[in-house]
Structure 1
Amino acid sequence: MQELNHDLVVIGGGIIGVTCAWQLTQAGYRVLLLEKNEIGQGASFGNAGHIATEQVLPLASPAVLQQLPRMLLDPLGPLRLDWRYLPRIAPWLLKLVANMRPEAQRNSSAGLRLLNEASLSAWQQLLQQAGLNRLLKEDGSLLVCESESAFAELQRHAQVLGKLGISSDPWSAHTLRRQVGGLSPAVSGGLFFPATGHVTDPYQLVAQLFVQAQAAGMERQQADVHGGRCLDNGIELNTSKGKLFAKRVLVAAGAWSAPLVRELAGIKIPMDTERGYHLMLPAEPGRLPMAVSSLERKFIMTPMTGGLRLAGTVEFAGLHKTPDYRRAWGLVHHADALFERQLDTQGATPWMGCRPSLPDSLPVIDRVGPQGRLLLALGHHHLGLTQAAVTAQLILGLLSGKPSGLDIAPFRLARFGQLPPSHTLNHSVCLPGSEM
């Protein structure tokens, strides 16, 4: 068994793992990153690019329950549940229903607001330090609708968000067409969210942070971690390259995190996956000035350096089912309805990725196991890009014992049940040997 001399092993080469690795190497930690595939080729490659600070309402809502029959019957709907996967996901769905209680929804919204309020400033700080400001456009975003009744619904939505501290400006159809050219007359109004933005190339963001982390001393090994165990003096990892012994480990493996945590620590995390789709239109790089999403159609259009990305839909069908790319191509129909001129689909490419989802819509950001040697940054569902930089700050605080100033209580693993005594830890205590 190879004994590693690194301060921390990060498992996962997506936006969460790489951003954490970047943050820790900048702070002087010796980091080894393990990823079985190419860096940034999972869900981070194909996300919508939206820094979605306005999304503070959890997935668990009575509206989702009302849509269940449609979810089972419509294979191309915005929210889809493969009926063959229903027995497997049933326990997760029951937990989702439990989180529809008013108190649970308030707790989820409060936790999302806590992270999202700090997300944009965390990205600004990180990108300034990394010299990558060009990848972030802070032009705000739009949520549009196509009927007067839907515009009234938008206004009610704005009131709900306003009570949660999210500012928005109602835009009439006239204002919309003045600010965003080429929209269809069917678009009747929208909400403008000023404190949002978008990334012009999500893959390049991950790739550039990875290169910088390597330049700062991070090492990378292409290996699959398929098990291991927590010991009093470290963590044993079973990998495709043999056994490794690490002082501390951070699990940031996205939708594949839950089975790994169960193997390492015997802790079951109630995680499933939201399969998201996108269609990239390289012939449409200048169609929109900002990210625009649709209230009725439940998808988003984001301008990027590589074209216009149409993204959205939630499909519950597990990690291994073959993608149904009709869901990606179907986004063109919805997008065309929002424009006067049809989109150019020449060279368009579909994509599908698995997003890690927990029933309360909050991630797990924590440290568990003997002496807190196992760190966790997982379950960010469709907000991984939005929350990656602030998550990295929180992980640095947990590792160094110097709190970041953000309360991590809503994101602790213990919220899903009582952990064994050996897995609990006073989060104000500094880890042995972790001070720099």
Structure 2
Amino acid sequence: MNLENKLSRQLSGIPRSGIRDFFELVIGRSDVISLGVGEPDKATPWPIREAAIRSLEKGQTSYTSNLGLESLRVGISGYVEEHFGVSYDPKKEILVTVGVSEALDLAFRAVLDPGDEVIFHQPCYVSYGPTITMAYGVGVPINTRLEDNFTLRAEDVEKAITPRTKVIALNFPTNPTGAVEPPEELEKIAALCVKYDLLCFTDEIYSELLYDQAKHVSIVSFPGMRERTVLLHGFSKAFAMTGWRLGYACAPPVLLEAMMKIHQYCMLCAPITSQIAAIEALKLGATAYEPMRQSYEERRNFVVKRLNEMGLNCFNPGGAFYVFPDVSCTGLTGREFALQLLEEHSVAVVPGEAFGPSGATCVRCCYATAPDLLVKAMDAMEIFVKKHRK
């Protein structure tokens, strides 16, 4: 039997994750300094872990409501109002999901019909294009540019809008570049959503991790946006809870109900232990993530300085915990650079092409890594760049 002939045609053009493919190369190698996988180097804060342990000791191991624990949704509602400046009804406008990735998948599947177009910006997180495709939509990527600090320009968005456009998808601060969208551009994009009657899905998982005393601004806070926006957020990055797999979506009742229908059949509910831990995370708030944020800012300053000193063109990202230097001065593509750096110096970075064709001359480095290892990684990279620089 030819099993390949039995596979869905919808999957035929979808590649494996470029991040995970590269990560496979370093598994089991104790000599590698990894700047590859995007997760905090810290364990989940102890009070959050302790809340989960207590729940297990009490035997709290049941299903929850499809929407998630009501106490968690109440906590999310308060947190979102404080952090994003918009209020949501915890009973019918908040859905707890298995990570933001599930929430994004639900949102696309809830609204897209075959042929509907979704505008999104590249370089972008690896799942955006494939998730749109798997929902039978058509992705319309807009390349952002290093000279614009990888921000998305409203004029480029408007040029991409067609009669088939249904959604504009945003991710700021951005993985992999760390770009933060200027409020004035966000306001223009919001106006386009209203003008062309478009939905907006905004993934703001890195919104707590901003630098240089910047304050987060969400597109959902602009006039006319709450009624057409799905706000996606979660606990993985700010609260160092990547393995807990917990996210959430905030949206108008009609959109949220459609997402919940899919969620209840494919996932049922998020794990109760993770939900209980998340309640404690929300109680801690900034006291949990502010020390990590400050540490990331110091590491960002160090890494950006070193990369530019060694001759790589690297802008100073305003958020998240990534840098995205252009390595073309070495005469290597991002993929060649990453493979040879791993081979010659045992330092792992991710080829920029994993995040879209516009990243082909870049690599992504995650600086959520121990400071002493960052020093060693930058020293090794400097030697490598000097050797290969054209």
Structure that is richer in strand per residue: 1
Question: Does TM, normalized by the shorter one, top 0.5?
Answer: no
TM value normalised by structure 1: 0.24
TM value normalised by structure 2: 0.26
